[in-house]
């Protein structure tokens, strides 16, 4: 048996306009450490520009990072897209940015979209408004993520907005690596035996960090690569073990 660790795969930073400006990568990592989260992903809306700073802060604080975004698809479904490599995450981010509509952000009305370094210095602002739909279907998005070696997880799939349930009326089948739920106890029977189920904070404010987490059984010597980042293949293996545990959900 491996080690059980706490994970949070859904966290927004000051790059997301609906997030708090105080949510710098360094502050996020401080709170993750306080709340004993060992494996975490930064998932801003449609961009991964703060992932480099997040990676640096995680490595300094013995937290294992994943990188990516919460992608909004053509269908207005939110999809967590996770990678274990900064360059790949950046490539994906650039591709998605080109697929966003040319709507300029208005910080006064929509919120700030700043990317920073690990010491909270502002490096720049994103011009396009990030909380819009990319010109990419959910099926094509999942295929793209997998082509780059990443993990695709429909976000808050049981929620009444920007989810599989809100757009399709139910949690539909797909090539998902897992399904994120707000309430694991109310997981529909038809997905318990099919997909790993996760629950993460979707934190936009400091007090929300790790408000929802899930446990993974991992082999720590193989989970962490030499760069101190997570090994995505080991994360996939750990997620697959959750399917058996799903059957015990009441």
Q: What is the pLDDT along the chain (250 residues), one digit of tens a residue?
A: 689 999 999 999 999 999 999 999 999 999 999 999 999 999 999 999 999 999 999 999 999 999 999 999 999 999 999 999 999 999 999 999 999 999 999 999 999 999 999 999 999 999 999 999 999 999 999 999 999 999 999 999 999 999 999 999 999 999 999 999 999 988 988 899 899 999 999 999 999 999 999 999 998 789 999 999 999 999 999 999 998 777 676 5
pLDDT of residue 245: 74
Angle, CA of 137, 149 and 10, to the nearest 5°: 70
Q: Using CA atoms, how far apart are residues 161 and 245, in angstroms rounded to an integer?
A: 27
Long-range contacts of 160-164 (CB under 8 A, 24+ apart): 162/72, 162/76, 162/77, 162/78, 163/77, 163/78, 164/77
The whole-number pLDDT of residue 41 equals 99
Q: What is the rounded distance in angstroms from the CA atom of residue 76 to the CA atom of residue 186?
A: 23
Angstrom CA distances, 188 to 122, 157, 184, 197, stand at 43, 11, 9, 11
pLDDT of residue 1: 63
| Residue the block writes with tokens 């793209």 | 144
Q: What is the pLDDT of residue 133?
A: 99
Angle at 27 between CA 110 and CA 67, to 5 degrees: 75
Domains along the sequence of the chain with CATH: 3-246 (3.20.20.140)
Residue 121's CB is within 10 A of a number of other CB atoms, namely: 9
pTM, full prediction: 0.97
* Rounded CA separation 194/187 (Å): 12
């Amino acid at each position: 048996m491996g080690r059980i660790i706490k994970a949070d795969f859904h966290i927004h930073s000051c790059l997301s306009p609906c997030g708090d400006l105080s949510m710098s990568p360094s502050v996020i990592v401080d709170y993750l450490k306080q709340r004993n989260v060992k494996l975490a992903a930064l998932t801003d809306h449609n961009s991964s520009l703060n992932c480099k700073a997040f990676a640096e802060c995680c490595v300094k604080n013995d937290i294992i990072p994943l990188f990516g975004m919460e992608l909004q698809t053509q269908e207005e479904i939110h999809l967590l897209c996770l990678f274990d490599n900064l360059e790949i995450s950046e490539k994906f981010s650039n591709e998605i940015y080109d697929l966003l509509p040319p709507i300029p952000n208005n910080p006064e009305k929509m919120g700030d979209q700043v990317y920073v370094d690990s010491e909270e210095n502002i490096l720049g602002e994103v011009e396009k408004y990030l909380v819009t739909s990319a010109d990419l279907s959910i099926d094509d998005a999942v295929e793209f993520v997998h082509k780059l070696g990443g993990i695709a997880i429909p976000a808050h799939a049981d929620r009444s907005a920007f989810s599989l349930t809100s757009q399709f009326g139910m949690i539909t089948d797909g090539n998902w690596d897992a399904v994120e739920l707000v309430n694991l106890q109310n997981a529909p029977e038809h997905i318990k035996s099919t997909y790993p189920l996760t629950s993460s904070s979707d934190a936009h404010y400091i007090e929300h960090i790790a408000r929802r987490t899930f446990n993974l059984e991992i082999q720590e010597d193989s989970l962490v690569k030499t760069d101190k980042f997570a090994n995505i293949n080991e994360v996939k293996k750990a997620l697959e073990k959750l399917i058996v545990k799903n059957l015990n959900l009441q």
